[in-house]
Amino acid sequence: MLRKARIGDVKTIHLLINTSSGKGEMLPRSLMDIYGSLRDFFIYIDEDTGRLAGICAMTIIWENLAEVRSLFVEESCRGRGIGKMLVEACISEAITLQLYRIFTLTYQKEFFRKLGFGAVERSTLPEKIWSDCFRCPKYPDFCDETAMIIEL
């Protein structure tokens, strides 16, 4: 079941993000940051177990740009289309808000390519997107994520 995140989901979202971060898949986020951006998150509840199995957020960056971020699906639930559902929910919300350029910074190039995103040079995106990057130990010289964008 796909739905918007609620207050009771914050600690699980925090755990999933920071577990994924420990594997080098995304940047860590504090509880305070997640509480502050809770309305950005969609979650997927596994109907078999009742557990939160996937998360994804759509963050408004600028008047004409949004970011899909913090995508994570539990390993035992991967391959079932959950990630696609989460990203499509974020894109749908961006369109509702009249945001037609959506980017992501990702290690999962093929996944996002299948959803219509194309790779771009990071330098073509506004500097404002780099605020989270400053906290990353790979920034600026060793960043290995790919910037991808979809224009609707």
Average pLDDT, integer, range 12-24: 93
* Strands in the chain per DSSP E: 2-4, 41-45, 52-62, 65-73, 101-106, 118-119, 146-151
For 48, the token pair is 């078999």
Q: Nearest 5 degrees, angle CA 149-CA 9-CA 98? A: 35
How far apart are the C-alpha atoms of 24 and 4, rounded to whole Å? 26
Average pLDDT, integer, range 61-87: 95
How far apart are the C-alpha atoms of 72 and 117, rounded to whole Å? 18
What's at 6, amino acid-wise?
Answer: R
CB atoms within 10 A of CB 93: 17
pTM over 0.75: yes
Write the pLDDT tens digit of every residue in 95-126.
Answer: 999 999 999 999 899 999 999 999 998 878 76
pLDDT for 17 equals 96
List, in sequence order, every residue forming a beta bridge with 52; answer none if it has no partner.
45
Provide the CATH topology of domain 2-151.
Aminopeptidase (3.40.630)
Average pLDDT, integer, range 63-81: 94
HSE-CB for 109 with a 13 A CA cutoff: 7
Closest CA to 135 of 27, 24, 18, 32: 27
Band of pLDDT at residue 132, cut at 50, 70 and 90: low
For 31, the token pair is 């509880």
